[in-house]
Amino acid sequence: MASSFDPVAHNRSAWDREVESGNEWTRPVGPEVIARARAGDWSVVLIGYQPVPRDWFPAELAGAAVLCLASGGGQQGPVLSAVGAAVTVLDNSPRQLSRDREVGAREQLAVRTVLGDMRDLSAFTDASFDVVFNPVSNVFCPELAPVWLESFRVLRPGGILMAGFMNPDIFIFDVAALDERGELIVRHPLPFTTLDLPDDERERSYGTGPIEYSHSLTEQIGGQLAAGFVLTHLVEGPHHADATGRYMPGYFATRAVRP
């Protein structure tokens, strides 16, 4: 692929196409979900279909400033808004953000949307959020250190970072064998990015989807620690949509605090 390739622009267009094709992470929540959230019955996910433990959140969410980071799609942001949080959703895809605005308009929720790269939170001042909520999305980001540094900067002291991310070991397998036959055939050394594949093979295996990056646990967990966070919780879960789920965790989720 040409050296002038822009992964941010590519992934922006790719996620806009995912919205048009109905990817499950682009389908906004319905009125019944918002009604339950307003009544105190709510959950959101960081990894797969696994609800985030309620004690990961502040004891009182009403009035808390929450940044849903690379979390467009009309799912987590509107639910947290319905609970009473002051929610801002930053995402790289205009169409994903339109889903959040759609739910906000339908349910009269004040969900703010901002178009941007998760590595650059310069639209926000220092110490402006109580929670940064980042479901599995940094797999589409070329580098993670700026994500954690910026998250640290925009959180207030005592603020919480919740992040979901891929187990990098998922990327060692041949994706065609995994998806088409459910076979776990080791093929790729790590680190891996789908840019490593020839264009024709990447298109056969991933279609016109976003570029993905494996990211080591050193980048994921070590990067949070290097940014200054204190890790309080870590959980793992199977990948919800491929054969690896029978054998290994495909996802990790972490909770960390800015001292």
Instruction: Judge whether 40 and 84 are in contact, CB under 8 Å.
Output: no
Average pLDDT of the residues in 33-53: 98
Residue 239 clears pLDDT 70, i.e. is over it: yes
Position 211: which residue type? I
pLDDT value of position 151: 99
Q: Nearest-5° angle of CA 28, CA 85, CA 155? A: 110
**Is the pLDDT score of 186 beyond 60?**
yes
Please state, in angstroms and rounded to a whole number, the distance separating the CA atoms of residues 44 and 174: 31
Place 256 in a pLDDT band, splitting at 50, 70 and 90: very high
Residue with the two structure tokens 């979900």: 33
**Given this model, what pLDDT does residue 2 score?**
54
Q: In what order do the strands lie in the sheet with 86-91?
A: 112-115, 86-91, 65-69, 129-134, 155-166, 249-257, 230-238
Q: For the residues 164-181, what does the mean pLDDT come to?
A: 94
Q: 3: pLDDT confidence band, cut at 50, 70 and 90?
A: low
For position 179, what pLDDT does the model report? Answer: 87
* Domains, the chain, ordered by start: 7-167+214-257 (3.40.50.150)
Which of 166 and 5 is assigned the larger pLDDT? Answer: 166
pLDDT (mean) for 71-90: 98
Residue 250 sits at the vertex; the CA angle it makes with 244 and 252, to the nearest 5 degrees, is 165
Percentage of the chain exceeding pLDDT 70: 99
Mean pLDDT (whole number) for 85-113: 98
Average confidence (pLDDT) over 65-77: 98
Residue 229 to residue 152: CA distance in whole angstroms: 7
